[in-house]
Structures are given as structure tokens and as C-alpha cells.
Amino acid sequence: MSVHYSDPKLKVFALSSNRPLAKKIADEVGVELGDVSVTKFSDGEIRINIEKSIRGDHVYLIQSTSEPANDNLMEVLIMIDALRLASAKTINIVIPYYGYARQDRKARSREPITAKLVANMLTNAGADRILALDLHAAQIQGFFDIPVDHLLGASLLANYFLENGFDEKAPVVVSPDHGGVSRARKLAQFLKAPLAIIDKRRPRANVAEVMNIIGNVEGQECIIIDDLIDTAGTITLVAKALKTAGAKTIYACCTHPVLSGPAIDRIQESPIEKLIVTDSIYLPEEKRIDKIEQISVASLMANAIKRIHEDKSVSPLFEHTYTGNVE
Amino acid sequence: MSVHYSDPKLKVFALSSNRPLAKKIADEVGVELGDVSVTKFSDGEIRINIEKSIRGDHVYLIQSTSEPANDNLMEVLIMIDALRLASAKTINIVIPYYGYARQDRKARSREPITAKLVANMLTNAGADRILALDLHAAQIQGFFDIPVDHLLGASLLANYFLENGFDEKAPVVVSPDHGGVSRARKLAQFLKAPLAIIDKRRPRANVAEVMNIIGNVEGQECIIIDDLIDTAGTITLVAKALKTAGAKTIYACCTHPVLSGPAIDRIQESPIEKLIVTDSIYLPEEKRIDKIEQISVASLMANAIKRIHEDKSVSPLFEHTYTGNVE
Amino acid sequence: MSVHYSDPKLKVFALSSNRPLAKKIADEVGVELGDVSVTKFSDGEIRINIEKSIRGDHVYLIQSTSEPANDNLMEVLIMIDALRLASAKTINIVIPYYGYARQDRKARSREPITAKLVANMLTNAGADRILALDLHAAQIQGFFDIPVDHLLGASLLANYFLENGFDEKAPVVVSPDHGGVSRARKLAQFLKAPLAIIDKRRPRANVAEVMNIIGNVEGQECIIIDDLIDTAGTITLVAKALKTAGAKTIYACCTHPVLSGPAIDRIQESPIEKLIVTDSIYLPEEKRIDKIEQISVASLMANAIKRIHEDKSVSPLFEHTYTGNVE
Amino acid sequence: MSVHYSDPKLKVFALSSNRPLAKKIADEVGVELGDVSVTKFSDGEIRINIEKSIRGDHVYLIQSTSEPANDNLMEVLIMIDALRLASAKTINIVIPYYGYARQDRKARSREPITAKLVANMLTNAGADRILALDLHAAQIQGFFDIPVDHLLGASLLANYFLENGFDEKAPVVVSPDHGGVSRARKLAQFLKAPLAIIDKRRPRANVAEVMNIIGNVEGQECIIIDDLIDTAGTITLVAKALKTAGAKTIYACCTHPVLSGPAIDRIQESPIEKLIVTDSIYLPEEKRIDKIEQISVASLMANAIKRIHEDKSVSPLFEHTYTGNVE
Amino acid sequence: MSVHYSDPKLKVFALSSNRPLAKKIADEVGVELGDVSVTKFSDGEIRINIEKSIRGDHVYLIQSTSEPANDNLMEVLIMIDALRLASAKTINIVIPYYGYARQDRKARSREPITAKLVANMLTNAGADRILALDLHAAQIQGFFDIPVDHLLGASLLANYFLENGFDEKAPVVVSPDHGGVSRARKLAQFLKAPLAIIDKRRPRANVAEVMNIIGNVEGQECIIIDDLIDTAGTITLVAKALKTAGAKTIYACCTHPVLSGPAIDRIQESPIEKLIVTDSIYLPEEKRIDKIEQISVASLMANAIKRIHEDKSVSPLFEHTYTGNVE
Amino acid sequence: MSVHYSDPKLKVFALSSNRPLAKKIADEVGVELGDVSVTKFSDGEIRINIEKSIRGDHVYLIQSTSEPANDNLMEVLIMIDALRLASAKTINIVIPYYGYARQDRKARSREPITAKLVANMLTNAGADRILALDLHAAQIQGFFDIPVDHLLGASLLANYFLENGFDEKAPVVVSPDHGGVSRARKLAQFLKAPLAIIDKRRPRANVAEVMNIIGNVEGQECIIIDDLIDTAGTITLVAKALKTAGAKTIYACCTHPVLSGPAIDRIQESPIEKLIVTDSIYLPEEKRIDKIEQISVASLMANAIKRIHEDKSVSPLFEHTYTGNVE
């Protein structure tokens, strides 16, 4: 890939969590990944050294705070500290997947709001801007006092389904729970499809939970959508419930393939035909089963980086389904 | 009402937005409202003077930032400044209705996040703690770096319906849009009722929006729930759609009766049988129509103030339907 | 007016309080006013949207926090928040009239210092610089930790009197109270005129206040000067006292025409011949009586904006009487 | 002096600038001065050690930042640091004389606002509260974001003149310049006396400055008042001008006797009969000439410390002439 | 163990890194460990829930940020966030071993100062005080703006050697490198022993490093001391060099037994007779070889916690060799 | 000296402590020293005025905080305030000698950490970057949250000895105490020399301290090195002890010649042959005795300023012995 970006002050760095994506982004931007060594000492402490001067540079640092979340988070923080002390001009954190996002409010007494804590840590360490993708709740933008550019993955996922002819299939978009209805609705709008919502509830005390399907799915192509899939427990139960309710084919999609613990096995055994995910989180070989199809956010994020660096608006990137051709 | 609370260091103050509620809260706590003069100069500037020393006191300041939002907000900020400079020990802001809460994320390019701005303003002015009720999004808790005690109104509203025999009527709880499904579900759980969701959407370009009802409402008693009702546009359209779809009777409820502009007329003319609201926002005489029934949050908030002052947990106040008897 | 300023990174925006002045300033700078929509919702909350990208721009935002002070203040704060989140390079607040300036110290126990609170709010929201005009007390500059460029209106007012031949008339400059002597003295210096001071005091308890005139005014042309005239109570009493004491003609001037409540009537009925004010505050039609003459600060402020943007000193703008020709 | 104050958590400490006053204050409060060693190394660096534990104590630290201003200021800052790290509960800075107060605004281009800088330094070091006396400008209160209790010396000075029968003598109170008129007026009110103001100005270019006396002083007892007297240049010129204008006797008073450089000689040779000052600044033996009479602020400040510690209002201490009997 | 501490507001909590030590400390203080659940989700994110109200409590939170450093650090930060939001009165972080302490300065260009970053993270999360033990550099105290109580392990280690009769054996205390001489000297003082220092250096380019022993060790009992032993590379090489140089017996000691990677094997095979360590870091079964003897810091730290809570000085705990009897 | 530096935005200013060095640095950079007036009023307060606009400039401000430390420190702080308010683009503080550096930790109970306090004061006043030389402890870098470029004087001193043929003389480098061993070792490495360390200790209670020399010095050329020499007490005692132990010739060197009190006399009378110091601190005429030789840091610091301004790394300046030829 050629190194063709004109401004040498734009630097792109990657840490450990997702170097293949970072490499693709750098390629799309037209720069080489910056030279940084990240070492883990024998006692687990991380040591970072930036190999070349970045004084006065605008640095874009790519890191998903996916598993191992704490190590990856600490890497970003230490790197921000190093960049600040080494006199970077601006420090822009590109977080394809923002870990701990689900702890975004005190749901029970005496709970932490870890998503806010992480926002404070990034800001206090010295970040000047965040470029994020599909935050678990849009309000997390407000956890930061620095500018946040928030990209939406729905435009990418919608594009996938449109390119694969789903607008002809009159699918139903399914929200697997009450919290994800707005996200499902956005995809439904792109696909001009109706909605269904799953309301999992215990009918009476001491009785098993039941999956109530609100909306009509019988004989339909269903597309379940969530922002992330972790252990895949809920989504596979939802898929079964849809099947039982007479759904024709069942697709699923999400932006962030966390896929921890039993996730892969559950998906493999579920009635889900295909699961569409992005590469916001690196998928190791053993998780790349046939049912899972990955689409890349590299072009979207690279475009965002260039637009930010060139003082252009980033919203054109996700107002329509994303095909790579923007303005 | 007797002044019976034992600790003279606990002071309750009210500003202009909702003195009747503040009076009730103070009565329930067992103290008199603190002596403060709030004047508006002829040029519109606000002047506040605290009449008696509050050095070393724990002050609870009650103010909804309802209409006129900017004046009410400015009153709180000036009062916090005065309390801080006058050496209050702690400054606890009791906000039955948190204005600007709907601007809680950048929905479009270059929008402010005013709910966060307000949180910063309260914190920077010197607030030590927030006691809020039914914030538009639970994530607004994370906009603050100071402790937020977040009370839920659903327990009060549910109690109303239970006391009025609705558990026998097998009602359907209706969310008027995709964003309020979680709130509707909480009420549904208290009432052991099923859910329906309204998905308002334009079927094709250049065609009027249609109210799709997801879920079954035919022949049912419906309870529409929202956190606030502003101009009552959506909720009255939803009520009509439910009627058209064969709903039997239509009730509506919300915590915060903003009821601005054409709201009262719209409700009056709508098929809504009864609208249950709280007194988090003061309802002037002209808005107190027969269809609207107000239940008071005074006991709930007074209990919260006492529990905070006495270092007890506040969660018991809203985990179950609230009847005033806690522990 | 032609748009001729060379650097497209300089943007001038106006909010609601004084658009005619803002328009004049933009014209003088040689740019168009930026495109921003400011809406007030039916419940009184303000919604701001910046219509075009301002990433990387140097924004000058013009707003007087005059009546309605709280709405106008909140507009600025929300706009600063929006500009910051939209990645403006610098945010420069141009405040022709700084409201709440009179609350600049604790004059009585437990009073707030609202002028400082407002300074903190502007700074915390994200302002990088303040451009102000005739602050009620020069010390308000020190309420900010960001740079404040403080323009003085005396040079404009002095110019008016000089152009109207007052240096020939040997006028007396009158301070209407003990707090304004320094300001009066500055005008007196420009006009090479003597000073008189009014000392309003109650001679004994239970006796009406008396206007003692310190200095000689008999048979003289008097020019009363203040930084602002609010309800015009004091200044019209002073005018009467001067008349009684044998003053020949009485002029008055101030930078900021607050003119609230009974001000216009009082001035109309007073022995004041003419009141010279600036357009730092917008005067609605009904306040534009013949006795009031308005001179514009637009050229002064536009020059200041250009000098700041071009890294030049602003002090040459007010060290001498201002005629628009600077260096 | 007996050590009789009941709460052992109240500690009073003194640094180097004015130990005699600090001793008196501690006596009046009823405690011993805390044990602290302040050493100056041979290279001029200051070393402070607190000799006994002050964990959890409420510390009142007495220090005027008088000459040598920088050493005295640095002493306070280092002591605050030591107190904070040693876990004092609250750190209350008692500053009888606040140095650098005259640099309270940008009077010329590119000047610092050192009075604000000092306020920031005290706050950032860890001060929780300031107890000050006759700040050069009342607005300096607003330079702090922590509570400031601001005592006024006029009540003490007025008391001196009243006790010495001046209310019978019908004196004129004289402000030595335009900036001090408000202060002169306050004393004039206590003494029920008229005002005169000195307007020093150059009549034409290249002509010597002239002392214009606004108001009538002929045949009167004059009391010149200022907040501080530094080199005594202005005040002795004013005294001469008053004499020339036929004043009978001339007294002068100020809160803060800076009296640097030629001050003592000038006063000695001037027509000033007597100069009344407080002990806010320590007067070394060589400055204690017969013409200067010192009255103590110890009782006033000790009362303030006790009232603050006991959560009482301090304003009763200076609303009337101070005689030591408060409530 | 009896729960006997009198003040119920003192709470001691432990996280995952060293529960046995925390249990001992709580026992020594006389309280039960607080009830907190720390869970690791399947994707590696940590979830913390405090089970009982701690409103208004003084919480002491015990956690070494030893391996896995990032997980342990993140646990503390999330717990601080939870404690703060749950309205703890003070949050005191007890860190027997402070990880990342070796990254305490920019030794090479563009290095981070991670020890400072961690200090900032703890402070910003909401810690009110740090209680630490043998920080790698004493200057790390200055990385915090909150009070740090810094305990020294030398008094414990010295006590061990004195109790085992080493004062009779006239040992030599050896610093394994130039950076640890001050620490070695402190132990030497307690034992009244002479010092030796190892200067590891390459005599010429391309020649192996040589261990120069500065000082006399021949025929002596040697005690090597360091603050921590990580991979044990240096200390075992030093031991060999001492042996070669004729040392009689070789002991080693350190406060923090990091002992990562090949450490245990190296120690086992080295001429070190015995290695004395504390339990500041938990030693799993497989590291508890016969050569290693552990002494507990529980009594020292429990005493410190009690003294802090009771507003007593902590320095008596380490000015002399620590035997548990203080004052 | 010609003014040849190309970028007019780079400004170099000097305050009072060391104008000769500042002049040399400005010459080496190729600019004139900026125009600033620093006055001390008769009462000791400092007044600073910057004579020409520095809006938008990158200012490098040179000041050692040497004796009088407090005056010199206050000068820097006031100047930073003035620069910030006058809208400098960046404020870079060049501190050849950082006073108060020895107070860098709590060595005894209740001590301040003044080196940290000073760091906070510089940062809070508005400094953007620090350029320092041989800080007493490298960890002081971590006291700042802004970037610190830390130059090392060892490369200059080493160069002196190499140029004077010391590599041929096989000298021993001596650390005068346990705290300075690392510094001595760095010089020893440059000179390929062995080390000796002085361990000053009291053999028994009530017995005089003895200078134990660890390492071999008999018949050797000795070079004692320290970062600073203050009263010269220790270093001259060390010199005598070395002489007694048979050292051949004794040289001494340090970066910072504080040389207060009896220092010059002690050095004069000591067996020290020659003392090499830099001009980081200005040496007045009376201290320039023959035994003292001064080498200049001007070229080193000027190079650092230029490299910082041009976004180049500064580490090449001290990784090798400094001869002025870099890259």
C-alpha cells in the first residue's frame, strides 16, 4: 500500500488490541503505522516506548478496549501519557470498541458508573478527542468534556443487507430486548422493514421466563440486531423463540463481536443462519466460523480521521448507508 | 405542621419554581423552609439573599428547572454560589424535574449536549450532591462527578394504578415511541401487564407518517406511559391510533407534566380518559383540568432527604411500589 | 456590504440579544454572520444548531447578556458548548454588555458574587477569551483566568462631546455617586473639564436623603456620566439637584442603556437635555425617544476583533478618543 | 494569658510577618500559638516544620503578606502545603494585610493581575477559607472561589475618632484621590461628616500637576483616609494642599501602614497632626514616631475566628463601629 | 477474631490482590472486612458491587497493584468510583505494593511516567488519602496532591535481623546497585553495620559487564537489600559476585516479593541462604520455597489505619525498628 | 551578535536572576532578549510590564530560582500571568537552576513537599512546558503534568574533564553521600573511571560522625561530584577525608554553584584543587575565586530551545558528552 497522505504531521499509531484493523485504517489514510514498542514485563506491567519524535504532530491512536479490557485500557492511558509528555500537538483516540460501555448508569445501589470512569481517565490522561463507533448508549458522548465524533455502524450493516438483496425479501427487524428498540428501528428504516421486539419476562413468580414476541414474525425473514454480542445467550434464545414462532430464516448482526465464553458454540448450534459483524474487535482464528461474516470499518474510520484532520464534518459518513463514496 | 426534625443542621430551602411542593417536602421532613429572598430586578436580573446564617449546615435546595427553564436554572446556580460563599457544610440539590434533559447527546452534527452542560454548571457552582427524579435517560447520572441519588417515579405511578384496581383489569402498557420501551416495561412489570409499542414511521417518501402498533391492544384497557408530556402532540396521536385499533379505555401517565403550548387543549380533545401526573412540576390553576389527576412526590422526596441525611440507603424507596411505608 | 476579510478561519456569530449590532460588527470586519439557528421550544428551553462546519475555525460570538439576562446568558453557554464539541479552534466571546456585573462583591452577608459565577460559567463552558466593554468594575477582569480584552467606552463618548464642540463650553463632569468618580474623572480628562460629585446621604435618622453636590456647578454645562443607566432613578434625581443648584444645561451619558421599567418616562420628564448612549444594548423602537442619541460601538469592536485575530495589541483603540482611525 | 478556649481542634498558627499581632489574636481566642519552626536556609530557601500532629484540626494561619512580600507569601504557601499533607481538617488563612492587592486589574496593556494570581496560589495550595481585612478593592473577594470573610477596618477607625470626641468637632473626611471616595464616604457616614475629594491633575500639557480640592475644607478639621499608606507621597501632598486651602487641623488614618522608603520622614515633615493606623502590619521600632498611633485589630480578628469556628455570622463585627462588644 | 473496634464508621474493604493480608489487617484493626462482590465477566470486564450502605463511612480499601497489575489497578479505580457515588465520607487507599513504581521518571526520550499517571488516576477517581509502604522512590509521594502516609519496611526487616541475632554477627549491608544505596544505608544504620555497593559496569565496549564490589565483604555475613525483587536476575548475580569475593554467608531481603518469571528458580540455585520478604504481595503456594521467609506487615498497617482514623501521627510506626509496641 | 533566527514568533525573555546567561542563550539562539521591565517597589512588591505585544508568540522565559529564591520565583509566576493574559501562544519556562528542589519528599512528619508546590504553582500560573537542567531528583519531572525537557549537565562536565586529559589520569569519581551515587556513576561512565562513596555515620551514640570511604582512593586523582554545592560543608569535609585517606589530587564539580554563606571560604581553605561549575546560577564578582572554573550551559540550552521550537527531539543533546556539535 502506498504512503501517499500529504501532511506529515498526521500520525497513526496502533497498540495491541487490533493491529490488523489499525493497519487497514493506516493504509486507507495513506500513512504508515507509527513506530512504538509495547512490551509486557514478566510481572505484567506494560512498558511503552515511542521510537521517533512526534513533537508537534497530530496523533491518531487506534485501540479497542476489548478483551483483555484492563490491559488494553491501560495501554491507551500509558500511551496518552507518553504522547503528552513527548509534546504531541493533539492526541486523538480512535476506539472502534469502547469497553465497559454497559456500565453506563447506576442500575442498582452502590454500583460504579465505569463507562464514565473510563471517560474521565482518558480525558485526564490527556486525550483531546475521541472517535468512537456505536457506543452502547449515545449518552456516553456526554461523559466526555472533549469532542467526541460518534460513528454509527448501522449504515455499514444496512449496506450489507441491501447489497445482498434483503430489501426485496421484506424482512422483519427484531430487537432482542426493550433496550435496543431504537437501534433496531434505525436499521428498519434503512431497510424499510417492520419491527418486532422481544419482551423476556417471568409470567408469575417461580415460573420460568418466557420470550414474548411483540409484533409479527410468522413466515418472515428476521434480522436480529444488537450493538454487541457477548456470550450470545440472549440472542440465541431469541433466535429459538423466533423459530418456534414460525420465522422463516433468521439472520443476526451486531457491530461489536465480543463473543466471549460459550458464544461461538451457542451460535453454531442456534437457528441463526448467518451473523454479520464488523472488525471493530479482532476475531482470532478459532472464532472465525462459517456462520460469521465480517465487514470492515476501516474505510469508514479512515475517512473519519482524514475529515477530522482536514476540518471537515464527519456526519456525511453515517447519515446514509455507507458505501465508501462520501461527497 | 409541626417542626419536629431533630437535627437543626438540616436545612431545606426552596426557590421559585415549585414552592407548594417544597412546602410539602419540608413538612414531611419536619422542618420549616429556610428564609431566603429571591427578587427579580426591573431589568430581569435575579438577586438572592439568604436571611439567616447557614454556616456549617447541610442544605437541601429544592428547585425544578421547569419553565421558565433559564430563570429557574439561574436561580439555583446563584443560590449555590451564595450557599458556598456563606460556608454551608454540604449543598444538596433536589431537582424534581431536570430541565434540558432531552438534549442528552449529539443527535445531529454540531449540536450541544445541554443536559451535560447543566450538570457541569451545577457541579462547578458548588453542588455536592443531586437528588433527582426520573431523569430522561438514566445515563445522565454519569454526567455528574458528584453523587446522584436517582428516584424512580414508576413506583408511585404503579401504586396509583394498583390502588385503583387496575391489576384486575388486565391492562396493556403502551410505549408511545421506541425510546420509552424500557420505562413502559418497568410499569408493565409492576402491573404484570403485557406491552405494546408504537412505531411511528413514514411508509414511503412523500407519504404521511403512520402509527404502527406493535403488540395487541384490541379490546384492552391501555395505559400509555412517558417520562414527560410536553406539547402532548405524540401522546394524543397515539391515543387516537389506539382508539382506532379498538382499544377499550385509554389512560395516560407521566412523571413530569411539562404541558406547554397546546398541551391542555390537545389532552382535553383526545380520547384519553385520564392523565395521571406527579407534582414534580407546579401546575397552575388553568392547567388543572378534570382529566388530569396529580399525585404527590413529596413523601418520596422527603423520605429520600432524611435517608441521605442519616446515611441510609435510598434504594428501598423505589424498588417496590411506593406507599410511603419504607422499612 | 462586501465580504472582504481575507482569512476564512475567522467566523463571527451572533445570538439573539443584539443582532443589529452584530450585523454591523460583521460588516466592519468584512465577513458574513455565521449560520446558526436559535429556537425557543414551547416550554422555554433553548435549542441551538450550528448549520455549517466550524472545525478548526476561530469563532467570535457576539452576545450582550442584557434583558432577558438569563435567557441571553444561557444562549451563550449552550452555544459555547456546541462550538467546543464541534471542534472550534478558539472560542472568543464578545460581550458588549456584561449583565450581572453589579453583583461583583459580597456587599452584605450571604450574598452571592454573581458576576464571578457568570465568569466561571463562561470559562468552564469552554470560552478561550473575552472581549468586553466597560465592565462595571475593572476588577471583573480578574474574575476570569482566560485573557480578557477590556475596551473602554469613554473614548467614544468623549469623542462625541468633542465633535459637538463641548471643549469650548467648559463643561463640568458629574459623577452621580461616590462609586463612579474614577469613570467621571476619565471623561473629565479627555474634555479637560473639572469634576463634581454627588453625595446622597441622610443628614439625620428619619430625615429624607439629601443630594449634596461636592464641587461647583452653578451656571455650568453639566455632563453626568455613568457606566449604565437602569431605572434612571438616581440620574434623574441628580439632574434635578444640579438644576436646583443652578446648572445651565444638563447632559447625561452612559455606555450601557439598560433603561428598564420607568426609565424612559423618568428621563423624558427630567431636566436632562440629551442622553448619549451606545448600542451595546439593543434599544427597541419604544425606547428611542428624541432625547436619547445612540452612537455605535461596532467599529470599535470590529477593530478589536481584527486586531486580536491578527495578533496585534488592542490598547491603541481606547488610549485616545476613538475616531475609527487607529494606527 | 489563660488558655481557655474549649475546643482543642481549633489551632492558631503564626508565621514570620507579624508575630506580635498573632500572639494577641491567639490570646484573645484563648489558645496558645501552634508550634511551628520556620527557618531560612543560608541560600534563602524557607523550611517549615510543624512540630506536633494537627491531623483533623481546624487551623487558622495568621500571616500578613507585607514586606518582604515574596518571602511572606511563600511562607504561607509552603505552610498550607505542609498542613494539607499533614491532614488538617480545614485550613483557614487569616491575612490582616493582603499584599499585591493594588495589582487588581490590567490598567495597562500586558500587565499581570497579581492580586488574582496570589488568590489562585492560595487556593491551589489548599486554603479552604480566607479571613481578610480591608482589601484594596472589595471585588478581590471574587478572585477566590473559596469563602472569603472580609472585615472592614472603618468601624475600628471610626470608633477611635468617636472616642476622641471628633463627632463634636464637625470634621470633613477627605479622600486623597478619586479611587478612594467610597471608603471616605463610609467613614464620613460613621462620623456624620461631609466629604471632600482631591482631584490631582495636570491643567495643560507641560504644566505641573495641581491638587484640586472638590468640596469645602476651609477652617475645618480634616481627616484624610486611605486603605494603605505606602511611600506617603500622595497623602503628604494632599495634607499640604489642604493646609494651603485653609484647613484647621489635619489628621490622617489608614488600615494598613505599609510606610516604605521615605514614608516616615515625609509624615514627620508634613502638616499631618496625627496618623492613626492599625497593627495589620508590624511596625518596627524605628517607624514608631510620636505622630503615629496604632490601634489593634486583634480583638476584631479573634472574634471573627471564633465566630467562624462556631458557625456564627461575622457581619455583626463591622456593621457598626467596633468596640469589642458584639451581641 | 473478635470484632472490637469501637467506631462503626471505620470500614475496611479488600479487593482481589491480597485477601489474606487484608483479612489479617482487618483482624488487627478489630473489624470485619466489608461486604463487596468483585466479579470478572466472561469478556474480562470487572463488575463491583458494594453490598451494604457505606454512606458517611470512612473507608480503608486494601489492594496491592501487583500482578496482574492492570486488573488490580482497575479494580481499585472502579471501587473508588463506586464508593464515591455511594457517598463514602472519606476514601483511603491502602496500597501495600504500588505497582508501576519503577516508571517514575523519563529515563529515555518519549517515555511515559506511569507511576505519576497511576497517582493521577487514583486521585481523579476520588481517593482522599494514600497509605503506602516502601515506594520505589520517596519522591512518588509528591506525585499526589492528596496526603500520602508512607510507611517504611526497613524497620520491620531490621527487627527481623535483630531478633535473629544479626547485631552480634557484624554483617555488611549490600546495595545491589547505585540506586538503592540510601535504602541499604537505612538498614545499615538500624544494624550498626558497614555498607558495600555493587557497581555493575562494562569495562570496555564489547566486553561483558563486571560486578565491581565497592567496599569490603571478604569473610563477612552479607545482607543484600532491595525494595523489590522481580525476576531476581540482579540479586542472584550480586550474590554470586559476593560469594566469589569471599563473603561468608549471604542473606537477602526486600519489602516487595514480586518474584516473577524465573525468580524462584534463580533464588533456589543461588548462594543466597535465606530471603526475607514481607507479605505486601501475596505469595502463591508454588513460590513458598524454604529459602523464603515471610514476615507480615499486617500489624504495621493496621496500626497506621487506626492512627489515621484517630487523628494521630503515623511516624512513630517506622522511626524505630517495628515490634508492634508503639507509644 | 547578529539577530538571525528566522521565525519572529520565537521570543526569549529574561528576568532578574541570571541575565548574563540569558543574554548568551539569546545570542546563541539568534534573537534579541524581549523587552520587559521588572521593577521592585519600595515596599518590595514586584511589578512587571511587557513592553511590546507578544500575542500569538512562543515565549521562552529564562529564570533560575536561585537566591533570592522567593523573589525570583515570584518574578516567574507574575511574568507567566502577564504572558498568559497578553495571549502568548505558548509559555515555555527555562529554569537552569530549579530552587527548592531538595524539598522533594516528606522526609519527616508534617513536612511540606515544596518542590511539588513550586511545580504546581508554575503549572497553575499557566506554564506550558518546562526546560530544566539537572533536577535534584529525576522524579521531579513527574511533579509536573506538563511536558518537562530535562537536560543533564554530566555531559558538559564530562566533556570538561575529557578535554583536560583526565581520561589519561585514571581518576576515581567520588559521591559525597549515599544519595548521589547514581549521578557519580554517570560521570564515572563517561570517564570510564571507578567509583567511591562516602558514608558519613556516627559509629555509636554520643560519638562524632566519621567519614567512611567505601572504595579505593589511595594515590588516586579524585573527582567529587554533586548536583549542587550550597554551604560547601559536606564537600570540603569529604575532600579532607579523601586527603587523609591518601588521595593524590582532589577535584570537585557540580552543575549548580549555590555557594551560600561560608561556602567560598570553606572551598578556599579546603584541599580541593579546582571546582568546576556551570553558569546555571549567576556568580557575583566576589565569588569568582581562582579555584572555581565556570563552564557555560548557554549553548546547550539554546540548542534545546531551538530544537523544541522546531519540533525536534532534545535527547541527542545529553546522550553523549556535549561539545556543541549535535547531529
Q: What residues in A contact E230, CB-CB < 8 Å?
A: 41-43
Residue C117, pLDDT > 60, answer yes
Burial E39-57 (b: 16+ CB within 10 A, else e): eebebbbbbbebeebbbeb
> What does the alpha-carbon distance between residue B277 and residue B179 come to, in Å, rounded to a whole number?
20
Chains touching F by CB (3 or more pairs below 8 Å): A, C, D, E
CB-closest option in D82, D110, D125 to F49: D110
* Beta carbons of D147 and B87 less than 8 Å apart: yes
Any catalytic annotation for residue C200? yes
Residue A202, pLDDT > 70, answer yes
Which residues are paired to A37 by β-bridges? A49
The identity of residue B102, as a single letter, is R
Which residues are paired to C249 by β-bridges? C221
CB-closest option in C53, C84, C85 to A313: C53
Average pLDDT in the E150-172 region? 91
* Beta carbons of F139 and E141 less than 8 Å apart: no
Q: What residues in B contact D129, CB-CB < 8 Å?
A: 87
* Beta carbons of E141 and F106 less than 8 Å apart: yes
Could you tell me whether strands B10-14 and B58-62 are parallel, antiparallel, or unpaired per DSSP bridges?
parallel
Q: A175-189, D167-181, E222-236, F202-216: which range is least confident on average?
A: F202-216
**Collapsed DSSP state (helix, strand, coil) of residue F306:** helix
Which residue would you say has higher pLDDT here, C214 or E318?
C214
Q: Would you list the DSSP string of B296-313?
A: --HHHHHHHHHHHHTT--
* Beta carbons of B308 and E57 less than 8 Å apart: no
**Collapsed DSSP state (helix, strand, coil) of residue F37:** strand
Most E-contacting residue of D9, D77, D87 (CB-CB within 10 A), to test interface? D87
pLDDT of res. E1:
53
Q: Tell me the three cell numbers of residue F145.
A: 503534568
Count how many pairs of residues, chain A against chain B, have C-beta atoms within 8 Å. Answer: 114
Contacts of B133 (CB under 8 A, 6+ apart): B95, B96, B97, B150, B151, B152, B153, B255, B278, B280, B297, B300, B301
How close, in Å, is residue F167 to chain D by CA atoms? 35
Residue A12, pLDDT > 70, answer yes
Average pLDDT in the A283-290 region? 96
Catalytic residue, from D169, D200, D274, D287: name it. Answer: D200
Q: Are C15 and C63 a contacting pair, CB within 8 Å?
A: yes
> What does the alpha-carbon distance between residue C220 and residue C237 come to, in Å, rounded to a whole number?
18
How close, in Å, is residue D55 to chain E by CA atoms? 5
Q: C19-28, D165-174, E316-325: which range is least confident on average?
A: E316-325
Could you read off the pLDDT of D123-149 as tens digits, one per residue? 999 999 999 999 999 999 999 999 999
Q: Give the model's confidence band at A327: pLDDT under 50 very low, under 70 low, under 90 confident, else very high.
A: low
Q: D196-205, D262-271, E99-108: which range is least confident on average?
A: D196-205
Q: Give the model's confidence band at A108: pLDDT under 50 very low, under 70 low, under 90 confident, else very high.
A: confident
Q: Quick check: do B and F touch, 3+ CB pairs under 8 A?
A: no
Sole residue written with cell 557540580: F254
CB-closest option in B129, B148, B311 to E56: B311
Q: What residues in C contact F53, CB-CB < 8 Å?
A: 311-313
> What does the alpha-carbon distance between residue E141 and residue E248 come to, in Å, rounded to a whole number?
38
CB-closest option in A129, A148, A311 to C56: A311
Residue D285, pLDDT > 90, answer yes
pLDDT of res. E323:
77
Residue A60, pLDDT > 80, answer yes
How close, in Å, is residue E325 to chain B by CA atoms? 36
Residue D207, pLDDT > 80, answer no
> What does the alpha-carbon distance between residue F164 and residue E222 come to, in Å, rounded to a whole number?
40
* Beta carbons of B55 and D129 less than 8 Å apart: no
Q: Give the model's confidence band at B315: pLDDT under 50 very low, under 70 low, under 90 confident, else very high.
A: confident
How close, in Å, is residue D70 to chain C by CA atoms? 20
Q: What residues in A contact C57, CB-CB < 8 Å?
A: 311
Count how many pairs of residues, chain B against chain D, have C-beta atoms within 8 Å. Answer: 17
Q: Quick check: do B and A touch, 3+ CB pairs under 8 A?
A: yes
Catalytic residue, from E200, E243, E291, E312: name it. Answer: E200
Residue B1, pLDDT > 60, answer no
Q: What residues in A contact F150, CB-CB < 8 Å?
A: none
pLDDT of res. A201:
83
* Beta carbons of B142 and A113 less than 8 Å apart: yes
* Beta carbons of C55 and A313 less than 8 Å apart: yes
Q: How many CB atoms lie within 10 A of CB B227?
A: 20
CB-closest option in C139, C196, C197 to D104: C139
* Beta carbons of E147 and D86 less than 8 Å apart: yes
Reported pTM: 0.96
Q: Give the model's confidence band at A326: pLDDT under 50 very low, under 70 low, under 90 confident, else very high.
A: low
Average pLDDT in the D154-166 region? 92
Q: Taking chain F (327 residues) in consecutive chunks of 10 residues, what is each chunk's mean pLDDT?
A: 85 97 97 96 94 96 97 98 96 98 90 97 98 96 96 91 89 93 91 92 76 93 96 95 96 97 97 98 96 96 96 84 71
Using alpha carbons, list the distances in angstroms from residue B56 to B84, D128, D312, D318.
Answer: 10, 13, 9, 21
Contacts of D325 (CB under 8 A, 6+ apart): none
Which has the closest alpha carbon to F40: F10, F15, F23, F59? F15
Angle at A57 between CA A51 and CA A60, to 5 degrees: 80
Contacts of A222 (CB under 8 A, 6+ apart): A171, A172, A173, A174, A196, A242, A247, A248, A249, A250, A251
User: What is the rounded average pLDDT for all residues in chain A?
Assistant: 93
Count how many pairs of residues, chain A against chain E, have C-beta atoms within 8 Å. Answer: 148
pLDDT of res. A318:
76
Residue D327, pLDDT > 70, answer no
Residue of C nearest to B262 (CA): C42
Q: Give the model's confidence band at A134: pLDDT under 50 very low, under 70 low, under 90 confident, else very high.
A: very high
Residue of D nearest to F82 (CA): D112
Residue A324, pLDDT > 80, answer no
pLDDT of res. C80:
98
> What does the alpha-carbon distance between residue D171 and residue D192 come to, in Å, rounded to a whole number?
9
Q: What residues in C contact A129, CB-CB < 8 Å?
A: 87
Q: What residues in A contact F148, CB-CB < 8 Å?
A: 85
Residue C287, pLDDT > 60, answer yes
